[in-house]
Amino acid sequence: MKYIGPDFCNITSLLTDEELLIQKTANQFVQQEFNPIVNEYYEKGSFPLELLPKMGELGFFGATLPKEFGGSEISSTAYGLIMHELEKGDSGLRSLCSVQGGLVMYPIYKYGTDEQKKKWLPQLSAGTAIGCFGLTESNHGSDPSGMLTRAKRDGDDWIINGSKMWITNGSVADVAVVWARDEEGIVRGFLIEKGTKGFTSSDIHGKMSLRASITSELFMKDVRVPDSSRLPGIKGLKGPLSCLTQARYSIAWGAIGAAVDCYEVALNYSKERKQFSKPIAAFQLTQQKLAHMIQEITKAQLLAIQLGNLKDNNQLDFSHISLGKKNNVAIARDCAKLAREILGANGIMDDYSIMRHMMNLETVYTYEGTNEIHTLIIGQKITGESAFE
Partner 1 sequence: MKIAVLTKAIPSYESSIRIDSSSTWIDESVVNFVVNESDSYALEEALQIKEKLDNGSEVVVVTMGSQDNTSKVLKDGLAKGADRAIFIQNEDSNTDPLSIAKLFSQNLKDENFDLVFSGLQSDDLGSGQTGVLIGELLGMSTATLGIETDIQDGKIKIKRELESGWFQWVTLPFPASVSIQSGINEPRYPSLKGIMGAKRKESKVIDGQLSDDPKQNFINLFVPKTEKATEKIEGDVDGIVAKLMDILKNKLRVIS
Residues marked active site are found at 368
- Residue ranges of alpha helices (H) inside the chain are 17-29, 38-44, 52-58, 76-89, 91-98, 106-111, 114-126, 238-272, 284-312, 318-342, 354-366, 371-383
Q: Does 367 bind partner 1 (CB under 8 A)?
A: no
Task: Please give the Cα distance from 160 to 163 (Å, whole number).
Answer: 10
Among 9, 18, 53, 274, binds partner 1 (CB under 8 A): 18
User: What does DSSP assign to residue 346?
Assistant: G
| Three-state SS at 152 | strand
Nearer to partner 1, 25 or 200 (CB): 25
Shortest Cβ distance from residue 256 to partner 1 (Å)? 19
State how beta strands 187-193 and 157-168 pair: unpaired
Among 72, 149, 168, 229, binds partner 1 (CB under 8 A): 72
Q: Does 74 bind partner 1 (CB under 8 A)?
A: yes
Task: Please give the Cα distance from 331 to 296 (Å, whole number).
Answer: 6
Q: Does 244 bind partner 1 (CB under 8 A)?
A: no
Stretch that binds partner 1, among 59-67, 97-105, 112-120, 313-321 (CB under 8 A): 59-67
Stretch that binds partner 1, among 15-23, 131-139, 359-367, 380-388 (CB under 8 A): 15-23
Stretch that binds partner 1, among 71-79, 181-189, 253-261, 301-309 (CB under 8 A): 71-79
Q: Does 51 bind partner 1 (CB under 8 A)?
A: no
Shortest Cβ distance from residue 32 to partner 1 (Å)? 8
Stretch that binds partner 1, among 13-21, 96-104, 143-151, 165-173 (CB under 8 A): 13-21
Q: Does 57 bind partner 1 (CB under 8 A)?
A: yes
Rounded (5°) CA angle 159-119-25: 125
Nearer to partner 1, 16 or 295 (CB): 16
Among 34, 41, 47, 60, binds partner 1 (CB under 8 A): 60
- 250, 98 in Cβ contact below 8 A? yes
- The dihedral region occupied by 363, where left means phi > 0, alpha psi between -120 and 50, and beta the remainder, is alpha
Nearer to partner 1, 26 or 316 (CB): 26
Strand partners, 224: 159
| Percent helix / strand / coil, the chain, rounded to 5 | 55, 15, 30
Q: Does 9 bind partner 1 (CB under 8 A)?
A: no
Shortest Cβ distance from residue 59 to partner 1 (Å)? 3
Interface with partner 1: number of residues (CB under 8 A): 20
